[in-house]
Amino acid sequence: MLKLYYLPGACSLVPHTALEWIGVDFDAQAVDHTIIKSPEYLALNPNGQVPLLQEGSWTLTQNVAILDYLNDVYPQAKLYGSGDARSVAYAREWLAFLNADLHKAFSLIFGAARFSEDESVQNAVRQAATAQALTLLARADHALAGQDYLAGERTIADVYLYVILRWAHALKLDLSGMSALPGFFERIEADAGVQAALKQQGLL
């Protein structure tokens, strides 16, 4: 059986939702920041991060790698949309943007203390990262003008943006002027797979 290690509300909510869409039996294992730095967990994932997918003695880390694997093994779930090469490429393009660019900006906001003990330096890092995050969110908002989903059809990339918007709301970022994002957020939150994952993670 597949086993997914997750931190509630973290980016691991994305593969958690993917598994709900697939409909396969799986074990969702909650961890915390202490557990992911433990020797036992580091033996499974030396990066000390989530998500981590395990099946028997086989493990896989990195969000996009996990999503690619699940899409390949369970193509009927259409995690990347309708399945033709261009649709899949477009979904992957958005995943790359969300994972490598937008998520990175939020990592700097949350983790500014990693760079310096000086509060002024930390504040400067947060301010710069926040400005970058808002610029990137505006790009997503622009893409959603006139369509319900990032790639024009529902894909797992939409769930990644939803998770990041949850972080933006928690940080009380000013999203005024981004008129497409509120409706998008409500649309994705209402998805049955998202609802199931949120409930299992204790977020509802």
- CATH architecture of the domain with residue range 2-78+194-200: 3-Layer(aba) Sandwich (3.40)
Q: Does pLDDT of 186 surpass 80?
A: yes
List, for residues 19-60, the tens digit of each pLDDT value.
Answer: 999 999 999 999 999 999 999 999 999 999 999 999 999 999
pLDDT of residue 121: 83
pLDDT of residue 125: 87
Provide the CATH topology of domain 85-191: Glutathione S-transferase Yfyf (Class Pi); Chain A, domain 2 (1.20.1050)
Q: Does pLDDT of 120 surpass 90?
A: no
Q: Using alpha carbons, select from 78, 82, 58, 60 the residue that is nearest to residue 69.
A: 60
Structure confidence at residue 128 as a pLDDT band (50, 70, 90): very high
Q: Using alpha carbons, select from 137, 204, 163 the residue that is nearest to residue 18.
A: 163
List, for residues 52-101, the tens digit of each pLDDT value.
Answer: 999 999 999 999 999 999 999 999 999 999 988 999 999 999 999 999 99
Average pLDDT of the segment spanning 115-136 = 90
Share of the chain above pLDDT 90, in %: 91
Mean pLDDT score of the chain, rounded to an integer? 96
Q: Does pLDDT of 112 surpass 80?
A: no
Q: Using alpha carbons, select from 2, 5, 3, 1 the residue that is nearest to residue 42.
A: 5
pLDDT of residue 117: 81
Q: Does pLDDT of 113 surpass 80?
A: no
- Global pTM value: 0.96
Three-class SS string for 9-39? Answer: CCCCHHHHHHHHHHCCCEEEEECCCCHHHCH
Would you say 36 and 7 are in contact if contact means Cβ atoms under 8 Å apart?
Answer: yes
Q: Pairing relation of β-strands 26-30 and 52-55?
A: unpaired
Domain chopping of the chain, boundaries: 2-78+194-200, 85-191
- HSE (side-chain half, CA atoms, 13 Å) at 112: 17
pLDDT of residue 111: 81
pLDDT of residue 6: 98
